[in-house]
């Protein structure tokens, strides 16, 4: 995995005294901080490769707790997202942040994470009847920069003391060493997005390779954390059947069902604005050559027949190797759920799985 090495640092004067600023300054003493009152000159559409070399530390003042983006007929996996970081120094060719953040792509840490987590706590306290899965990985990888920010420590502490919260930290990194001794009380799931090693090499640049991710997952499981895997995005690349079969064999060799909270599957999807950006930034990518079309939610996806072929094959491998681990589809239509599982998914069903595992 490649480390984040910013070349310029901007600090919002309102957060100059926050702990993460002190950590960043001590970690990179060679970086000369630019203290700024007006951030408008930083919030600009600059090329992503340039934006990923700049770091801004500021505060987040908006509404922090957002439901994940299920839309229309697409089934949502009952998830709340909280942003503590914006953008990611990894370079997955298909990363939708290249489009989502195109007008404001500079790497950003939100130093007021205590206030953000206080809002999460209030949200949970006002809705005590339901178990909420909370994640920090919508606008960033949850763990890739955590040895620098140390944000997850307090997220894990919050989950440990809230009866109705499960924290999920989703990553393509191997950054877990700093979390292994924390008192997580089995309320945090450390999860890895996985793809076969050939797909990682071709499309997930700068991330931890497959073996590094699985070694980190082994450490997490040994430390008593629940672990989870997201086979996402499933890629319909040459040799995919053999590649996913080898991946599931490797998982079954290295993990047992009792350690895994869930396994999800989601097929490649991206915004219509992404394709041109990605083709320009990753001209060797083979992902955008497939049979893809625009779905009703505006995202580009494989044709339904291809998605169903992927899900049927990979779900069989998952259930053959991990028959007792709950599996589900992420961001799919009820029609596809019905054809793959013989039934539609409901929010209630996902809650039932959570209650069984964590209630």
Q: Which residues here bind ligand SF4, judged by CB under 6 A?
A: 88, 90-92, 95, 97, 140-141, 172, 207
Q: State the Cα–Cα distance between residues 293 and 272, nearest whole angstrom.
A: 9
Q: How far is the CB of 116 from ligand SF4 (least distance, A)?
A: 19
Contact at 8 Å (CB) between 186 and 209? no
Residues contacting residue 306 through CB under 8 Å, at least 6 positions apart: 236, 267, 290, 291
Q: Least distance (Å) from ligand SF4 to the CB of residue 122? A: 27
Yes or no: say if 175 and 147 are a contact pair by the CB < 8 Å rule. Answer: yes
Q: What is the DSSP letter of 2?
A: P
Residue with smaller CB distance to ligand SF4, 88 or 175: 88
The DSSP element (H or E) to which 80 belongs, if any, is strand 79-82
Cβ count within 10 A of residue 42: 18
Measured distance CA(89)–CA(64) in Å, rounded: 22
Nearest CB to ligand SF4, comparing residues 172 and 269: 172
The nearer residue to ligand SF4, 48 or 357, going by C-beta atoms, is 48
For residue 326, the SS3 value is coil
Residue among 56 and 354 whose Cβ is closer to ligand SF4: 56
Proportion of the chain in helix, strand, coil states, percent, rounded to 5: 40, 25, 40
Instruction: Please state, as a whole number, how many other Cβ atoms lie within 10 Å of the Cβ of residue 309.
Output: 17
For residues 136 and 151, is the Cβ–Cβ distance under 8 A? yes
Min separation Cβ 101 and ligand SF4, Å: 10
HSE at residue 187, side-chain half, CA atoms within 13 A, is 23
Pick between residue 171 and residue 321 the one whose CB is nearest to ligand SF4.
Answer: 171
Minimum distance from residue 191 beta carbon to ligand SF4 (Å): 12
DSSP state for residue 209 in the 8-state scheme? -
Q: How far is the CB of 304 from ligand SF4 (least distance, A)?
A: 23
Nearest CB to ligand SF4, comparing residues 11 and 190: 190
The answer to whether 234 and 265 have CB atoms below 8 angstroms apart is: yes
Shortest Å, Cβ 103 to ligand SF4 = 17
The least distance separating ligand SF4 from the CB of residue 92, rounded to whole angstroms, comes to: 3
Rounded to an integer, what distance in angstroms lies between the CA atom of residue 340 and that of residue 338? Answer: 6
Of residues 141 and 187, the one with the C-beta less far from ligand SF4: 141
Shortest CB 90 distance to ligand SF4, Å: 4
Q: Which is nearer to ligand SF4, 98 or 345 (CB)?
A: 98
Residue 172 or 187: the one with the smaller Cβ distance to ligand SF4 is 172
DSSP character string of 96-147: THHHHTTTS-SEEEES-HHHHHHHHHHHHHH-TTS-EEEES-SSS-SSTTHH
Smallest gap from Cβ 150 to ligand SF4, in A, equals 19
């Amino acid at each position: 995995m490649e480390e984040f090495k910013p070349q310029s640092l901007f600090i919002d004067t309102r957060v100059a005294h926050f702990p993460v600023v002190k950590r960043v300054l001590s970690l990179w003493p060679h970086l000369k901080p630019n203290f700024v009152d007006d951030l408008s000159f930083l919030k600009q559409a600059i090329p992503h490769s340039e934006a990923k070399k700049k770091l801004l530390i500021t505060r987040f003042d908006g509404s922090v707790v957002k439901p994940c983006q299920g839309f229309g007929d697409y089934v949502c996996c009952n998830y709340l997202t909280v942003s503590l970081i914006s953008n990611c120094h990894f370079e997955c060719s298909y990363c939708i942040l290249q489009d989502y953040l195109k007008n404001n792509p500079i790497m950003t840490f939100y130093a007021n994470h205590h206030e953000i987590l206080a809002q999460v706590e209030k949200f949970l306290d006002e809705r005590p009847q339901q178990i909420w899965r909370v994640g920090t990985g919508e606008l960033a990888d949850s763990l890739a920069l955590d040895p620098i920010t140390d944000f997850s420590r307090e997220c894990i502490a919050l989950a440990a003391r809230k009866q109705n919260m499960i924290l999920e930290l989703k990553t393509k990194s191997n950054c877990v060493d700093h979390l292994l001794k924390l008192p997580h009380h089995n309320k945090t799931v450390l999860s890895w997005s996985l793809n076969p090693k050939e797909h990682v090499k071709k499309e997930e640049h700068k991330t931890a390779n497959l073996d590094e991710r699985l070694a980190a997952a082994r450490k997490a499981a040994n430390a008593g954390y629940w672990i989870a895997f997201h086979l996402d995005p499933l890629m319909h690349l040459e040799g995919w059947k053999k590649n996913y079969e080898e991946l599931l064999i490797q998982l079954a060799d290295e993990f047992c069902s009792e350690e895994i909270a869930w396994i999800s599957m989601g097929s490649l999807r991206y915004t219509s604005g992404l394709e041109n950006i990605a083709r320009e930034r990753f001209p060797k990518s083979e992902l955008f050559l497939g049979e893809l079309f625009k779905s009703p939610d505006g995202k580009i996806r494989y044709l339904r027949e291809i998605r169903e072929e992927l899900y049927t094959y990979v779900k069989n491998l998952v259930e053959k190797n991990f028959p007792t681990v709950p599996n589900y589809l992420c961001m799919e239509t009820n029609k596809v759920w019905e054809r793959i599982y013989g039934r539609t998914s409901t929010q209630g069903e996902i809650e039932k799985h959570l209650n069984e595992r964590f209630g």
